[in-house]
Amino acid sequence: MSDFNISKTWISINCPKCDYSIDIQLRDAMIESTVYCHNCKISIKLLDGSASASRNIKSIENKLDELNRTLKNLF
Ligand SMILES: [Zn+2]
């Protein structure tokens, strides 16, 4: 049931070319969609095994920690 909320979570990735910060929804990463850098206009395939993908996973873990803390505060 929490999957729905997690998929709506916004995370930041960095453009592998110019390091510009790009906000995506976790859902986009899950379906491996392609996003565009607003700065240098390249397309970035999410979860493509590049360095940006591993940073991506770290961001997701941080968000999950935040979510856990939020849930603990609620109960
Ligand atoms: Zn860029």
Amino acid identity, residue 39?
A: N
Tell me what percent of the residues of the chain surpass a pLDDT of 70: 77
- d(CA 24, ligand 1 centre) in Å: 14
Q: How confident is the model at residue 75 (pLDDT cuts 50, 70, 90)?
A: low
Domain count, the chain: 1
- d(CA 70, ligand 1 centre) in Å: 32
Q: What is the pLDDT of residue 51?
A: 47
pTM recorded for the entire structure:
0.52
Angle at 22 between CA 21 and CA 27, to 5 degrees: 140
pLDDT in tens, 22-50: 998 888 877 888 899 999 999 988 764 44
Containing structural domain, residue 41:
2-74
Within a 10 A sphere around the Cβ of 57, how many other Cβ atoms? 12
For residue 21, give every residue at least 6 positions away whose Cβ sits within 8 Å of its Cβ, in sequence order, or none. Answer: 12, 13, 14, 15
**What mean pLDDT is predicted for residues 50-66?**
67
- d(CA 61, ligand 1 centre) in Å: 23
